Amino acid sequence: MALGALTGGALVSISDPSNVAAGALAGYGLAALAGSGVALMYLAAVAALVHETPRAGALHDAGHGIAQRVRLVFATARAEAGASVTVRVILTIGAAFGFALSAVELLWQPHLADLIGRSRDHGFAFGAIAAGSMVAVAVGAAASPSLRDRLGLRVGYLASLGLVALGTALLGEPGAATLFVALYLITYLSYGLVEPMHVELLNEAVGSEARATLISGESLAAQGGSLVANLSVGALAAAEGTGTAWAVAGALLAVTGVLVARPLRRGLKQQAA
């Protein structure tokens, strides 16, 4: 993904629309075409390399199997949440994270474009920043075990959560592009700190027989939060500005962290007992 972000940004920057024939693609169109080409290559590779033994009625059963799987995810998540405080915390934080990170992803490029000016020449810079966010997550994830050992799982998790919330809330404050980019990358580094501890909490909260299903349930919770953000954050930013939209998203995540702090302590004590 990081390589794709860099390549797409480079294609936007180096292509010159004035030097291409009428109707030819350049800039963002060229980057989108390249991405589509890579996606088609991936599909072709999957079709060529993945072989599945056909069975009678497979096509008929596919829709039923998917629906049954979705029902199982919801039923398992509901049952585990009813039995475990920690699971309820995980699902709640997952939804809040989905909202906050979608708010960041939806608005950071138009906000940065307003700071530096809208130009095709900045395409590579945007790609590099997107790639940098992925590197920042990886660095945060690598540092997460040390933070967990130093502060403990609960405190380290909540502290990292607070950093993500603070970074999100303050993203609209820097008036200079370099400061904005620095805060953007720090926010993603903080997310990298949180994620391994979030997964550890989930793994310790449920048994192995329900773990994979609950991972799907947590993913659905995050996607639900993301859906709400996509339907609301853009309108809020248009009306009040991106800074206000990010402040609301960060505040929501911070309030969620405060509300789950005591239940999380209780849930971890129950698991240890």
> Quick check: 246 and 112 in contact, CB under 8 A?
no
pLDDT of residue 121: 60
pLDDT (0 to 100) of residue 8: 63
How many C-beta atoms lie closer than 10 Å to residue 70's C-beta? 12
DSSP three-state, residue 110: helix
| 127 within 8 A of 10, measured Cβ to Cβ | yes
* Total Cβ atoms within 10 A of residue 202: 21
Residue 220: predicted pLDDT: 84
pLDDT digits (tens, 9 = 90+) for 162-210: 999 999 999 999 989 999 999 999 999 999 999 999 989 888 877 776 7
User: Tens digit of pLDDT for each residue in 34-63?
Assistant: 667 777 887 888 777 877 665 554 444 445
Q: Report the distance separating Cα 259 and Cα 6, nearest Å.
A: 39
pLDDT over 50 (residue 24): no
What are the pLDDT digits (tens) for 145-165? 999 999 999 999 999 999 999
Q: Are 201 and 149 in contact (CB under 8 A)?
A: no
- Domain borders along the chain are 2-44, 84-272
Higher-pLDDT residue of 251 and 45 is 251
Q: Give per-residue pLDDT as tens, 130-139.
A: 889 999 999 9
Q: How much is the pTM?
A: 0.78
Domain 84-272 bears CATH identifier 1.20.1250.20: yes
Q: List Cβ neighbours of 39 (8 Å cut-off, separation of 6 or more).
A: none
User: Exposure of 16 by Cβ count < 10 A (0-12 exposed, 13-18 middle, 19+ buried)?
Assistant: exposed
User: Which of 120, 98, 99, 101 shows the shortest CA–CA distance to 184?
Assistant: 101
**In this predicted structure, what is the pLDDT of residue 86?**
84
Q: How many helices (H) and strands (E) does the chain have?
A: 9, 0
pLDDT at 127: 82
Weakest mean pLDDT among 61-70, 79-88, 112-121, 148-157: 61-70
Tens-digit pLDDT profile for residues 233-243: 999 999 999 99
Instruction: Give the Cα separation of 52 and 35 in Å (integer).
Output: 27
Q: Does 147 or 24 have the greater pLDDT score? A: 147
What secondary structure letter does DSSP report for 56? T
Q: Contact, 171 vs 115, CB < 8 A?
A: no
pLDDT at 21: 43
Residue 262, CA atoms < 13 Å, CB-side half-sphere: 2
